[in-house]
Structure 1
Amino acid sequence: LRIVSLDVPQRVSVGREVLLKCAYDLEGDLLYSVKWYKDDIEFFRYVPSDRPPGQYFEVHGIRVDMVRSVEQCVRS
């Protein structure tokens, strides 16, 4: 796995929509999972083999739009 780009804003105003993006190259491997963290606490996980593949973990100050969040982007 090679991370091609990671786009995370430094600051976001309360209530504003946020888009977090992680572009990666699997280099021929299969994707097992993608995990997103805030202050070392996991708030979103994407596991393609799970149903549903996306899972949100409640973390103070974080909300995730589960309909629009997928393996390479998380939206609030």
Structure 2
Amino acid sequence: MDKSNQAAEAVREAADDLAVVHTVLDVQVPAEARNEEVDQALAQADQLQEQLDKSVELLQDVTKTLEAEVKNRAT
């Protein structure tokens, strides 16, 4: 379970880092200076953020399930 918690935390940190990168790009690169590639990168960053958020939720669910199974086996 510790590994599952560590994995969830690592994914959460990656998601946070990606959000910072996205925000910096979105704020610091003016719309008139953006090209199609920058816009695509921002859109992809949004998609990756969503995937990472879902992965964190899934890992948290797995951890809860494992914890419940350990409790059930201990009783």
Q: Which TM-score applies when normalising by structure 2? A: 0.27
Instruction: Flag the structure with higher strand content.
Output: 1
Q: Which TM-score applies when normalising by structure 1? A: 0.27
**Higher relative contact order at CA 8 Å, sep ≥6: structure 1 or structure 2?**
2
Q: Which has the larger radius of gyration?
A: 2
